[in-house]
Amino acid sequence: MFKRVSIFLLVVGLSFIYTQLSSADIVLLKTGMTLEGKIIEKTDDYVKIKTRSGIGTFKLDKVRGVVTDEEVPSATFPADIYRQRLNKIGENDAQAHYELGIFCLQNGLPDEAREEFNKAKEIDSEYEGRVKKQLVEVDKLKAEILYNCGIFFCKYGQPKRGIAYLEELIKTYPENDLVEKAEDLLAGVREENPLPQPLTLEEIKLKFKQGKLPIPIAKEDQENIVEFINKMPEDKKLYYCKRYLDIGEEYAAKIPLKESLDEKNKAHTTALYCYRIASKIALKEKDLKSQALNKMRSLSDELSQSVTHESIIKGKLPIPIPGKEMRY
């Protein structure tokens, strides 16, 4: 549905990096994106870098610069510079806060920009008019980030996340020029990725009656299954708690074996739902509930390597798909 080049053009406004770098090479793309890892090959035509997400090969005409770990300066990136400048500003210096807000706005840090502009206005009411104009620009930048995040997640196999960002854009900034595009995009994504329909209570009852374990496919399934199991005797509740723990482990084990990001997400979601069901079954024995909660936390930790909103905002876009090499 989307062309790769569109992603690069649209993520220009996504800001830059904020991270403490150690033993890492960096490839800075002209789009504003950054890849951190180990450079394994560099020629006159391209550079190849290995990151946590995989191996990416980039033509040099699309690369702004290549920095090795020995060359990384202490404050290269806007977020670092912002914090350094903030520490040097006097508490009642309205002009300094206003200028710092301008810096943040120009460097893709909308939340920080809003904070600095509001500080300037609070210190000196004479800044109210200027701040009002700048906050309009902050809203535009924030809306663009939401739109870009929506496109990115929809493109790379996480339509639910993409839909959430697009819906937030439409709800928060209804007058923004990107809303119409977001609505068109939402319609297409929803058509291609219809939300799974939850099981009815009758379907859940029938599966249990047939000796089958209802596998949760929608969020609502968790509550319905738990409600049904909690009406059972203690021994049955104990049995099904163990069963859902086992099923959760089976799906969790499938995650690294799945090739596409969409399949990985589905396996992760099902495992999480099963663990959550096990954690909510009303048992006198608390050990199994603790096991389920620990497995949920462990699953979340494993997922931390996948794309997050924070990683996009801070410019750390792991563009290479896990296990595959991508060329741009």
CATH number where 44 lies? 2.30.30.100
Mean pLDDT of 129-137: 94
CATH number at residue 128: 1.25.40
Q: HEC states along 32-84?
A: CCEEEEEEEEECCCEEEEEECCEEEEEEHHHEEEEECHHHCCCCCCHHHHHHH
- Do 169 and 237 lie in one domain? The reply is no
- Do 82 and 188 lie in one domain? The reply is yes
pLDDT at 2 over 60: no
- Radius of gyration of the chain measured on its C-alpha atoms: 24
pLDDT tens, residue by residue, 85-122: 888 888 889 999 999 999 999 888 899 999 999 999 99
- Do 173 and 126 lie in one domain? The reply is yes
Residue 56 backbone dihedrals phi, psi, to 5 degrees:
-120, 140
- Do 205 and 290 lie in one domain? The reply is yes
Residue at token pair 């994106």: 33
Query: What domain range is 317 assigned to?
Result: 4-74+311-327
- Do 141 and 242 lie in one domain? The reply is no
Q: How confident is the model at residue 19 (pLDDT cuts 50, 70, 90)?
A: very low
- Do 59 and 17 lie in one domain? The reply is yes
Residue 73 or 324, more confident: 73
CA distance from start to end of the chain = 18
CB 247 within 8 A of CB 215: yes
pLDDT at res. 129: 94
- Do 206 and 283 lie in one domain? The reply is yes
- Do 127 and 177 lie in one domain? The reply is yes
**Nearest to 157, CA basis, from 326, 313, 1, 316:** 1
Mean pLDDT of 6-11: 36
pLDDT at 218 over 90: no
- Do 246 and 165 lie in one domain? The reply is no
pLDDT tens, residue by residue, 170-215: 999 998 999 998 888 888 877 776 666 777 878 888 888 888 888 8
pLDDT at res. 253: 86
- Do 69 and 86 lie in one domain? The reply is no
Final residue belonging to a domain, choices 142, 166, 192: 192
- Do 180 and 215 lie in one domain? The reply is no
pLDDT at res. 14: 35
- Do 36 and 99 lie in one domain? The reply is no
pLDDT at res. 124: 94
Final residue belonging to a domain, choices 144, 169, 192: 192
Q: HEC states along the chain?
A: CCCHHHHHHHCHHHCCCCCCCCCCEEEEECCCCEEEEEEEEECCCEEEEEECCEEEEEEHHHEEEEECHHHCCCCCCHHHHHHHHHHCCCCCCHHHHHHHHHHHHHCCCHHHHHHHHHHHHHHCHHHHHHHHHHHHHHHHHHHHHHHHHHHHHHHCCCHHHHHHHHHHHHHHCCCCCCHHHHHHHHHHHHHHCCCCCCCCHHHHHHHHHCCCCCCCCCHHHHHHHHHHHCCCCHHHHHHHHHHHHHHHHHHHHHHHHCCCHHHHHHHHHHHHHHHHHHHHCCCCCCHHHHHHHHHHHHHHHHHCCCCCHHHHHCCCCCCCCCCCEEEC
pLDDT at 315 over 50: no
pLDDT at res. 295: 84
pLDDT at 73 over 80: no
Mean pLDDT of 255-267: 74
Distance CA(58)–CA(195), nearest Å, equals: 36
Q: How confident is the model at residue 265 (pLDDT cuts 50, 70, 90)?
A: confident
Q: What is the pTM of this model?
A: 0.46
Q: What is the number of other CB atoms lying within 10 angstroms of the CB of residue 125? A: 10
Count the domains in the chain.
3
